[in-house]
Every structure is written in C-alpha cells, then in structure tokens.
Structure 1
Amino acid sequence: MLRSLQPLAAFGLAIAVLLSGPAQAQDEAEIARIGKMDAKELAGFIGAVTQSVAQDTLKLQPAAQRRDCVELVRASNAFTLGYRLLAEADAALGGKPENDAVVLKTRIVQSRVITFAARVRADEWLSRICVNFAMPADKADEARYAMPVKLQTNEFTQAVIEARQAADANLTIAVAAGISKKCPDVISAIQSIQLFVPYLEKLSKDVAKRPEALGPRASRRGLEVARGQLINAGNKLYRELGAGCRATPPVATEAPENEAPPPAQ
C-alpha cells in the first residue's frame, strides 16, 4: 500500500497511512523513512498526523450514536497508528539542530497527548457498544479492521508524563509570548492553551479510574496543578496583551466529554 504513495510529499504520506489503518509488515521499511526526514519534513509530517487524528475524532460520536462498530474499530486502529507515527517522529529528532528539535518535540508531545485521548475515547465506546461485535467477513482480513488491542497501564503512565511535559512547554511558550509582546506569539500561546487544557482534564479523569498507572513521575495531582497553571497563564496573557492583539478570550473549558451512546442491546 505505502509503495504506491512514494511520489507524495513526506507529510502527505502520514495522511494516507492514517486513513488506511495499521501498516502491514511489508510497510515497515516505508515507516522507517520517517527517521530520514529533515526538520521541515518532520514538521509537515507531525501536522498531517495531528490533522488526521482530529478528523477521525470528529467521526467518533456520530459512529457511536449509529452503533457503527466497523467505523469505531477503524478509527481506533488509526489512532493507534498515529500514536506510533508520532513516536517515530520523536525518535527522528536525534541529530537535528537543537532549536528545531525543541520546537518539534513540543509539537510531538502535545499531539501524542491529544491522540492518546482519542484512543481512550474510542476504546470506551468500543467497550460500551461493541462487546459482542463480529467484523463482517468482507473486512475480517484487513489489518485496519482488526480488533484493537486494549490500552495498557504503562501507556496511561506514559501519557501522564507526556502531558506534564506538554504543559510545561505551553507555560514556557506563554512566558516567552508575554516577554516578546508580539501579537502572533500572544495569540498562538493563548490558542495553544485553549486547545490543551481540556485534554489535561480528560486525562486526569481517565487515570482516576486507573490508580495503578500513577506514581512519582505520573501524578494526577500534578496534572491538576498543571491545568490550573495553564488557565492562569492564559488568563494573565489575555488580560495584559490579548485584548490588544484581538485574541479570543481564554475559556476554562472542561475536558471533551463522551456523550454516552445507547446502551448495548
């Protein structure tokens, strides 16, 4: 499958891979190409993966409401692949110029937190309405329709650690924007905080159900503190500079909630 995509730009490959679902074994060499991307290609690649995850996330609730287990399985597998692709991009940062690596690392970590939230959401809906689901025979042999592997405790632990890293990065960006007083920086910092705060809350609720995932480096209390710090930083930035830059006022929104689909029948 991936071989037919070689003429595409590197970041275009990410979209095609995600929409096609988990890679087959013969595609591993193509995925290894991520390690050879330069900083500009990696930036495009990370953006494409993040965009694909966002597009599939919008399909989850409608799929659950119509009890479309086929689509929920496909999306769940796409999220799992996106999570892996972001890890591959992170590994590719070795040897890149420090300034580029720091910026890309921040984008990767934040995207992985968002992608992990999508994985959890898909897993929850599959568990609610697709317990006895059997994949139709015409799709049963396709990798993208394989029943997703359940999320593991260590993955929640890693997600908490990465969420704290991303929160710290957002705080650093907000401070830098306040110092620079440049409107593009201010608007970008406020928007980034607005995007990220709900995912911290969602992850905090998720790990509350899995205390075994928590520890010295993966603290639920730490997530709550980070969320409060980001809200305060966003509000402060808006009060001091945001209005003059015509930024959207920050809103301390709650986490993206799963609207419960009908109970399994």
Structure 2
Amino acid sequence: MYASLSTLTVIRNASPLILLGAERLMFGVPITKDAIISLTMILIGVVVYCSDDLSTKEALGIFLVVLDAAFLCLDRLAQRYLLQEMPVSLSSSALVLVSNAVGLGFSTVLLFFPMHTELHEVEWTPAGIAWSIASCIGGAAIAYAGIGLSRNLSATGALVVTNIDKVVVLCYGVMMLGDHFDSRKLCGCTFALVGGTWHAWGRLRAGEEKKQELKVDPLSQELAPSAEEMNSFS
C-alpha cells in the first residue's frame, strides 16, 4: 500500500479549492467570501480528523494520490461542461449507460490482467450473487443521482457534497459501529459539517440573488424611458 485512506481523503478534500479557481477561469463562476471560508473549514476539519492517522509516506504514494485528485477535478469540470454549459442531447438513462460502459471497460482490463489470479479464489454463493445484484441496482441509483446533482450544482458544489458524505459515513461508523472517536476527531468532523452547510447556504443565497436580478432587470428596462422619449421632453 503506497498511501493510507486518510492521506487520500485529505488530499481529495483539497480538490474543491482547486476547482473553485478553475470554474472561475473557465465558466465565470464568482468566488465569494462564503465559498472560500466554507471550503477552508472543510479542509481544516478533514485534516484535523485524520491528523492522528497521517504519517510520512513514500513519494510515489503521494504522487499517485495527487494524480487521482487531478483526474477527479477533470471529471467534475467535464461534467459541468457537458451537463450545464453545453448540455449534451442525451437522457439521464443514456448518460448512465455510457458512464457505466466506460467504467466496465477499465474494470474488465484490470480483472483479466493485473488481478486475473484472484478469479480462481472467488466462490459463487447464492448470497454473494444476491448481494452483487443488489450492488448493481444501488450503483445505478447512485449514477442517476450523480447526474441529477451535476445538472443542478456547480462542479465545486457537487464535489463538496461528495466530501461531506465521507464525513457522514465516518460519523455513522462512530455511532453505529463503535469506531474510536475522541475530542480531536469530534472537532474535525464539526468543522467539516459546518463548512459544508455554510457552502450550501452561500450557494443558495447567491442563486436567490441572481433570480432577483433577473426579475428586476427586465422590469427596469420596461420602465426606463427610451432615448426618443427623452428627446421629446427636452
């Protein structure tokens, strides 16, 4: 293992800070004070939560994690472009099919080449088959929800929701599965959850302000006197 899960989580949770600048340059998404503060709180929260588990890692592991985060950012930007900026003329079902077909190709290559020896150790039981089918149904539901999320949220917002979900899963492990939880982890989890709530509230407020501007501008244009009317008064 080149890097721990905590290292992967910490570096991935820094991705929204990078995406915020990329969205500003590519799509003109405004960078607000609320967005900067909330994303910083999320990053601090996850770092504090995982600080006990962080240790010095090999350079190759850190490089692979950073590369993974870079691909994640590119994926979110591509979703933003294809689903919001220049929407493709495909239904949600077609998008789910295309996404899973591409993923199936990579999974097949990994399964039959680097991991082919593990196929001999697989035992096909009725319970295992049932859980596999259930996971396929769950995967399709996640894909539909992800596409709907990408259509209605910015790339940064979608990634923030994903990162906050990780913290929720950690909280579930503590409350239901008895995972170790001390004051430092409580502080980090609180920071991340408050930051995510702040970010969602900031996005909602920005959206409402934009709607109000769109409502006011046409009305002001109708009420404003034209140049000919102004000349007639002079």
TM > 0.5: no
TM-score normalised to the size of structure 1? 0.27
| Structure with more helix by fraction | 2
